[in-house]
A and B are shown apart, each in its own frame.
Chain A
């Protein structure tokens, strides 16, 4: 009698260990897949930022030929590009919110420098008529659009990863295995208030 009770207990414990272990493994695999998804999304983000950086030398050359007066604006673009390409993040350091913010800041700086250049260029009709410049402008617009698309997808992936990481049974495994929350892209600084419109 006593023997069979003990045996039953052992079997029960074994089954329990198996079930819990299986659940933990499942949770871990899910977390891992979501984590890899975020990293893949990040690769796409870097891709499109690189695409923008690659367009700039050509843009600067084209503008320089036609609008030699905009030296300051051009220098700002070149500097912003240099600092943006310096801040590189590999798959591991994007998990660090501080490094992530630095990257985002550098890229947003480049974005606004390009924006200023395109505004100042409005004064030069011969440049605006230049087919090469117009194509470049289209490409820049397209690249900005791709950037916002990939940033949006990255945020979606990050959100589903973070949600999974914090949901109940998974969070235990996540804490145990060292899965951390991942940072999001935020709207660029200053874009929360609409720009002042001046007519003159």
Chain B
């Protein structure tokens, strides 16, 4: 008993790392919290980045906000967010996130381990300085992001990753009904089986109480009550908007700030 208490404590000994927590993973490729780009441009860019993941499996994301959160630096924020979101495929870490903070403006391109060969720091820096910064200076945020994304995609093609024709989000969406309903169906089967068993036991006990022994009634049949998760109302996937899901990529701080 006492020991159990200690074990509980052990599990909760989480440690604080000082920096504020990263925002949760955006479910789109393009996130604009600053309202800096028109909706249609954002969704066009989103579509382009989704197509790139289908083709190459590399994930390129764009994150726009007003300013870097208090208590952290641009570089730290970018690296922690990249890691928390798991951008890129697991084991390949082939992801890039372009962060833009419009008050400043400040930007950082965070490159995952798997794309550092194709987008080394110097290349990232040049894209920032030569492609994105001039358009930002001219006030064309959407154009800057478009041109920047094109440059990143062109650079990322230097690494021969092959896509599966699906994004991570599309693959998960396909798998999820099964994964969700399997345990639920199993649970229902078990509960129904228990109910039948209890009913049988109770009846037996009552009968025995009334007329002594009498033995086996064999109402232990039960349990064939399938109720499988009923396969979920068809499709629901392949909506027009392309979502993004993390695959578990990691970055060691590659890339470049402005």
Q: Decide if A and B are genuine partners.
A: yes
Interface string of A156-200 (1 = CB under 8 A from B): 100110010001111000000000000000000000000000000
Contact residue among B10, B121, B252 (Cβ-Cβ distance under 8 Å from A141): B121
Cβ B10 vs Cβ A142 within 8 A: no
Instruction: Count residues of A near B (Cβ-Cβ below 8 Å).
Output: 22
What are the residues of chain A within 8 A of B256 when measuring CB–CB? 138, 141-142
| With known contacts A138-B122, A163-B13, A148–B253 Cβ distance under 8 A | yes
Tell me how far the C-beta of A170 lies from the nearest C-beta in chain B, rounded to whole angstroms. Answer: 7
What are the residues of chain A within 8 A of B120 when measuring CB–CB? 139, 142
Cβ B252 vs Cβ A160 within 8 A: no
**Residue of B whose beta carbon sits closest to that of A168:** B6
Of A145, A156, A168, chain B has the most CB atoms within 10 Å of the CB of: A145
Cβ B125 vs Cβ A167 within 8 A: no
Q: Which size class do B's interface residues fall under?
A: 20 to 34
Tell me how far the C-beta of A132 lies from the nearest C-beta in chain B, rounded to whole angstroms. Answer: 10
Q: How far is the CA of A44 from the CA of B253 in the complex (A)?
A: 12
Query: Which 7 pairs of residues, A with B, have the shortest CB-CB distance?
Result: A142-B121, A149-B253, A135-B122, A138-B125, A146-B253, A145-B253, A138-B122
Residues of B within 8 A of A (CB): 3, 6-7, 9-10, 13, 15, 17, 75-76, 79, 120-122, 125, 252-257
13 further A-B pairs in the complex, CB-CB below 8 A; given A48-B252, A148-B75: A138-B122, A141-B256, A142-B120, A142-B121, A142-B254, A142-B256, A143-B121, A145-B79, A150-B252, A152-B76, A156-B17, A160-B15, A168-B6
Residues of A within 8 A of B (CB): 44, 48, 135, 138-139, 141-143, 145-146, 148-150, 152, 156, 159-160, 163, 167-170
